[in-house]
Amino acid sequence: MEPIRIDAVELRELRVPLVSPFETSGWREEEKGCIIVQLKGDDLTGFGECAVTAGPWYGPETTAGAWYVMENYFVPTVLKKEFASPEDLFESLSIVRGNSMAKAGFEMACYDLFAKREGKSLGKYLGGTKGKIESGVSVGIQKSARELVDVVGEYLRQGYRRIKVKIKPGKDLDQVSTLREHFPGMVLMADANGAYEVSNVHTLFKLDGYGLLMIEQPFAWDDLVEHANLKRALKTPICLDESVSSVNDLKTALALRSCRILNLKPARVGGLTVSKTIHEICRTHNMPIWCGGLLETGIGRAHNVAIASLPGFVLPNDISASKRYFDHDIVEPEFRLNQDGTITVPDRPGIGVNVVHEKLLEYAVRAEQFRS
Ligand SMILES: [Mg+2]
């Protein structure tokens, strides 16, 4: 394959209003902020999304920090340079430590570019085998258990295959038990975003009685030992999210036996190259994985749909329809939920959806072009 020379880079910070605020144990978002990366080469444009939160809540990165790293380190690294593959471009970004979400924005744009040049859908380009992926929905913390029942009931009516509720100490047992009363057979899981400590582990033991599909990230992101202890003590599988930002984190989690399931978010691990490696390692270890989300716009969503089409993604993903988050997504067609609770993997080249330029302009708060 001929290499691709990157002729131009465009960065654009967006703030897209959410249809309803999204609240977790640690933060609340009224709008989805992100940085859209465009890489141009071979008369094609590849789109990537840096799905970082405005502040360092989900992980240590911020929008301002990601922009700084991109402008000062990644643009000079890729502009006017040739790359033999997206993996090659990803390798060049290793001059910077960490900053996985910023890396993912550039690396995903490069995947879109190469897949488009090959005339292949991104799913096929990555080795995906599925035409449709299972769709679940993540429900933020609501004011009361009663309101949570209403919100969840509506998502079930729409056909989502799995409900995930955000929990935190004091907003947990009442929420989960009320949901179980109303929807005894629903596939339900809970995500704490690291809000629990060993001192309130008794609550997690009580949650063990509600037939949850899994409990996600109960303890702090850097505490793999207590996750291992809890995993041994609970029937409910423990799933890790924030704790695994790299292949080496996964190795540590496997060695310590800290989880039974992994929530893989391409944005969190630096993009699709590392996602593919993690997918392979997890398959070797018979560890089920599913694709999580960070309220991505249609661009990041398209990348997540593509990676989730790989065979190791065996549980419903946090990849919902565009409408669950936005009145108007920035891509066409928007991602829609099929009647059977799935989302169709686009089969057109690259991310397989068109980016609506007017929407990019409408939601942009900052933009910069870098040319050779
Ligand atoms: Mg999570």
Query: What residues act catalytically?
Result: 166, 265
Ligand 1 centroid vs 131 CA: distance in angstroms? 25
Nearest to 228 by CA among 219, 369, 172, 171: 219
pLDDT of residue 313: 98
149-207 tens-digit pLDDT: 999 999 999 999 999 999 999 999 999 999 999 999 999 999 999 999 999 999 999 99
Bridge partners, residue 180, by sequence: none
Whole-angstrom distance, CA of residue 88 vs CA of residue 66: 21
Ligand 1 centroid vs 113 CA: distance in angstroms? 29
Ligand 1 centroid vs 193 CA: distance in angstroms? 5
104-155 tens-digit pLDDT: 999 999 999 999 999 999 999 999 999 999 999 999 999 999 999 999 999 9
Cβ burial, residue 222 (10 Å; 0-12/13-18/19+):
exposed
Ligand 1 centroid vs 25 CA: distance in angstroms? 10
Residue 70 carries which DSSP code? I
Whole-angstrom distance, CA of residue 80 vs CA of residue 9: 10
Bridge partners, residue 355, by sequence: 331
259: number of Cβ within 10 Å? 26
pLDDT of residue 1: 78
CA distance readout (Å), 44 to 6, 37, 93, 118: 10, 14, 21, 11
- Domains annotated on the chain, with CATH: 4-119+356-371 (3.30.390.10), 124-344 (3.20.20.120)
Check: CB of residue 345 under 8 Å from CB of residue 128. yes
pTM of the model: 0.97
